């Protein structure tokens, strides 16, 4: 296995620097929101994690589609990498959202449309990784996973649009949401700058971890090949 | 308006969860990488790993 390419080392450094920069902007630059004050600061990282989580699930669907077209197992490695990382980021979004919800809504969890669709989305992809374990043949496993991911990706736009389509208490940041939303706030220009910086930061972190996870998948494939040659 | 003390407590809890989950995942990536490297080395240089096994037997 080749050592880390220079571009990946640059991404490692950029991820750390951007992450520290994002923390600095959230705590030192972004103003305090009047009603929720400090706890509102969770929303910058919460939104960014949800964003990269959904992005990764869509990337997995694209990789699955390409696998079905050209049957190259490298696309299976890319697909699994995207799913795994997205599960982690989406889990962070769900957990941080629950902690924000406790003082804002008075409960950690409620079965309203956004939270329900987000939980379903997370479980759909956890099930994908679990079901893959039951298939030994790599080609069958990859084909199953590609089809599953393509069908599962339908839940991504449903989750994203749920706060715009259904009556929900989840606030909408950009655009108009449900009248019953609780915890909504108007963003000042400084808040917007911080939000976009955090979104950019987590996009860089996503790309970095995605690349590392793909390399891990390639190494695992190499080990499996060597075992078969033994 | 939320009480400042309560609000700060939830804010720290939120960021602690974010950092812990992210760090745990990065740690798992590192551990899996190290283990796979060791497996690969053992498969490519079996002699090096056979000797200690024979000695312990």
**What pLDDT, on the 0 to 100 scale, is given for residue B53?**
58
Any idea where the domains of chain B sit in the sequence? 17-56
User: What is the extent of the structural domain holding A190?
Assistant: 6-30+40-229
Residue of B nearest to A27 (CA): B11
CB atoms within 10 A of CB A184: 14
Out of B7, B21, B25, the one facing A95 most closely (by C-beta) is B21
A35 is a domain residue:
no
Token digits of residue A70: 């050209």
A197 is a domain residue:
yes
Residue of A nearest to B33 (CA): A216
Secondary structure (DSSP) of chain A: -PPPPHHHHHHHHHHHHHHHHHHHIIIIISPPBTTTBGGGGHHHHHHHHHHHHHHHHHHHHHHHHHHHHH--THHHHHHHHHHHHHHHHHHHHHHHHHHHHHHHHSSS----HHHHHHHHHHHHHHHHHHHHTT--SHHHHHHHHHHHHHHHTTHHHHHHHHHHHS--SS--SSS---TT--S--PPPHHHHHHHHHHHHHHHHHHHHHHHHHHHHHHHHHHHHHHHHH-
A87 is a domain residue:
yes
Token digits of residue B29: 């990536």
Residue B22 CB partners (closer than 8 Å, separation 6+): A88, A92
**What pLDDT, on the 0 to 100 scale, is given for residue A34?**
85
A159 is a domain residue:
yes
**What pLDDT, on the 0 to 100 scale, is given for residue A171?**
82
A100:B17 CB<8 A: no
Asked if residue B26 lies in contact with residue A56, where contact means CB atoms within 8 angstroms, the answer is no
- Whole-model pTM: value is 0.90
CB atoms within 10 A of CB A103: 20
Chain A residues in contact with B1 (beta carbon < 8 A): 34-35, 37
The rounded distance, in Å, linking the Cα atoms of B51 and A30 is 61
| CATH number for the domain that contains residue A74 | 1.20.120
The pLDDT profile of chain A, 230 residues, written as one tens digit per residue, is 778 999 999 999 999 999 999 999 999 999 998 888 899 999 999 999 999 999 999 999 999 999 999 999 999 999 999 999 999 999 999 999 999 999 988 999 999 999 999 999 999 999 999 999 999 999 999 999 999 999 999 999 999 999 888 888 888 776 655 556 666 667 889 999 999 999 999 999 999 999 999 999 999 999 999 988 87
**What pLDDT, on the 0 to 100 scale, is given for residue B56?**
59
A64 is a domain residue:
yes
A1 is a domain residue:
no
A209 in contact with B, Cβ within 8 Å: yes
Q: How confident is the model at residue B49 (pLDDT cuts 50, 70, 90)?
A: low
In the predicted model, what is the mean pLDDT of residues B26-39? Answer: 96
A59 is a domain residue:
yes
- Please give the interface size between A and B, counted as residue pairs whose CB atoms are below 8 Å apart: 87
User: Taking the alpha carbons of A46, A41, A213, B31 in that order, is the dihedral positive or negative?
Assistant: negative
Q: ipTM score here?
A: 0.90
Asked if residue A98 lies in contact with residue A109, where contact means CB atoms within 8 angstroms, the answer is yes
Rounded alpha-carbon distances, angstroms, from residue A44 to A148, A204, B16:
31, 15, 14
| Structural domain count of chain A | 1
Rounded alpha-carbon distances, angstroms, from residue A188 to A178, A185, B11:
21, 9, 20
Identify the contact set of chain B against chain A, taking CB-CB distances under 8 A.
Answer: 1-2, 4, 6-8, 10-11, 13-15, 17-18, 21-22, 25-26, 29, 32-33, 36-37, 39-40, 43-44
A129 is a domain residue:
yes
Give the gyration radius of chain A's Cα atoms. Answer: 19
């Amino acid at each position: 296995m080749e050592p880390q390419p220079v571009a990946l080392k640059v991404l490692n450094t950029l991820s750390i620097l951007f992450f520290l920069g994002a923390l600095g902007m959230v705590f030192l630059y972004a103003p305090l929101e009047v009603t929720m004050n400090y706890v509102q600061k969770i929303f910058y990282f919460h939104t960014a994690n949800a964003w990269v989580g959904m992005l990764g699930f869509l990337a997995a669907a694209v990789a699955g589609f390409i696998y079905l077209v050209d049957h190259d197992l490298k696309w299976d490695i890319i697909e699994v990498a995207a799913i795994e990382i997205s599960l982690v980021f989406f889990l962070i979004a769900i957990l941080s959202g629950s902690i924000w919800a406790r003082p804002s809504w008075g409960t950690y969890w409620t079965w309203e449309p956004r939270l329900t669709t987000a939980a379903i989305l997370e479980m759909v992809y956890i099930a994908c990784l679990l079901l893959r374990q039951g298939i030994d043949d790599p080609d069958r496993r990859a084909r199953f996973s590609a089809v599953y991911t393509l069908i599962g990706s339908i839940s991504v736009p449903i989750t994203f649009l749920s706060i715009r389509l259904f009556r929900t208490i989840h606030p909408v940041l950009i655009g108009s949401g449900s009248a019953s939303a609780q915890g909504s706030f108007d963003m000042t220009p400084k808040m917007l700058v911080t939000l976009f910086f955090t979104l950019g930061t987590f996009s860089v972190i996503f790309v970095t971890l995605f690349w590392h996870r793909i390399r891990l998948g390639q190494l695992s494939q190499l080990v499996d090949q060597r075992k078969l040659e033994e | 308006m939320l009480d400042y003390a309560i609000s700060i407590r939830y804010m720290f809890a939120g960021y602690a969860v974010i950092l812990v989950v992210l760090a745990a995942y990065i740690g798992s990536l590192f551990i899996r990488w190290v283990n796979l490297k060791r497996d690969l080395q053992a498969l490519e240089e079996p002699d090096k790993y056979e000797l200690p096994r024979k000695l312990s037997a």
